Amino acid sequence: MDTTLVKENLNPFEIAQQQFDNAAEHLKLEAWLREVLRRPKRQLIVSIPTKMDDGSIRVFEGYRVQHNLARGPAKGGIRYHPSVTLDEVKALASWMTWKCATVNIPYGGGKGGVICDPKRMSQQELENMTRRYASEISIIIGPERDIPAPDVYTNPQTMAWIMDTYSMTVGSTQLGVVTGKPLQIGGSQGRGEATARGVQFVTREACREKKIALKGARVAVQGFGNAGSVAARLLSEDGASVIAVSDSSGGILNPKGLNITAVQAHKGSTGSLRGFRDADSISNERLLELECDVLVPAALENQITQANAGRVRARIVAEAANGPTTPGADEILHKNGVFTIPDILANAGGVTVSYFEWVQSLQAFFWEEAQVNHHLEKVMTRAFNEVLAISRKFNVHMRAAAYILAVGRVAEATRIRGIYP
């Protein structure tokens, strides 16, 4: 039995703090700043009584965490999942702080979650739960305070219910209280593909840096939800050969390349990747170890660990998911010459276009999709090159460099603002 995985700390919040501590050491941060920045500012735990379809009342538990507000209001998604924990939400909120600072948009980090199994709930039950959750967290969210967005198993409809509930509470329509909304009520063009498009832009830059031709490059994508499926399609449109993709039911492999449009259609009609013709079955674990040019982890946390990092044969890892690689795995990948584009850079396209949506909602002036994508590309490529420059300056891998950049920006804002009172 391999005991390496057992020994490795997989608590997401402790991993987030370890990543912060590493950057703080490089920056030689003062002790008081370290104490302030490594802790969440606010943690709200709520009970969510929900009327179910059978007439019963079920009480769910939900969270909203605001990690840091030094550079602007909190920003971050809401996830519905059976395994949601407070520590996970705290970690995700802190990663949002660093993510926003990495791409230099004026937000702090927030995150929310509800412990539930949305796959076993009807649309009406989801609406009932969402509206009660929104009313419970309304005491700390708002267009100038904390702006939620979609995350795992939430979507534009979820955001519409939250916006409506909050608006009813305050007595006026508040378009800016959430992002990732439907276009009909203040959503932004390009928001649905933004996370994946950001992955596409930084993958292009990484391929240039590593002198890999993206046209014909072999790509494997773990996780075929919104981010993973769209990233697979966009990279295939760039000429890459997507050889494997997977979802929670397992994966499919075709060394000659998959027809991503056909795969998306199959998943849309059947609900999973299983049974897709012209491909062999492959496990999620095996997919991570395929020989390829670009590996895109687009599922959940802790997928690449000390136990399997040594078997990762990708040349570039572009993290579309949050926290897919543990600190111990980072060191192994770096030692083996794998170029990792960290989550707080690679998947920042979503929050960047959320920022664009928020600006549009506050101004009630909306942009064309080409304008959104143009500005997104500028933000992502600039951030990639800033992180790369720090990587070279400090002689560290890209995750450490991104944290050094982000923590430095938040620390400077905190110093300038000072401590009140």
Catalytic residue set: 111
Closest CA to 266 of 258, 339, 214, 129: 258
User: What gap in Å lies between CA 284 and CA 228, rounded to an integer?
Assistant: 13
- Kindly report whether the peptide bond that precedes residue 156 is cis, defined as omega within 30 degrees of 0: no
Total residue length of the chain: 421
Question: Cβ(253)–Cβ(280) under 8 Å?
Answer: yes
Who contacts 115 (Cβ-Cβ below 8 Å, separation ≥6)? 60, 61, 62, 81, 82, 83, 84, 85
Can you tell me the distance from the alpha carbon of 116 to that of 383, in angstroms, rounded to the nearest whole number?
Answer: 36
Closest CA to 89 of 114, 70, 107, 126: 114
Cβ contacts of 250 within 8 Å, gap of 6 or more: 272, 273, 274, 281, 282, 283, 284
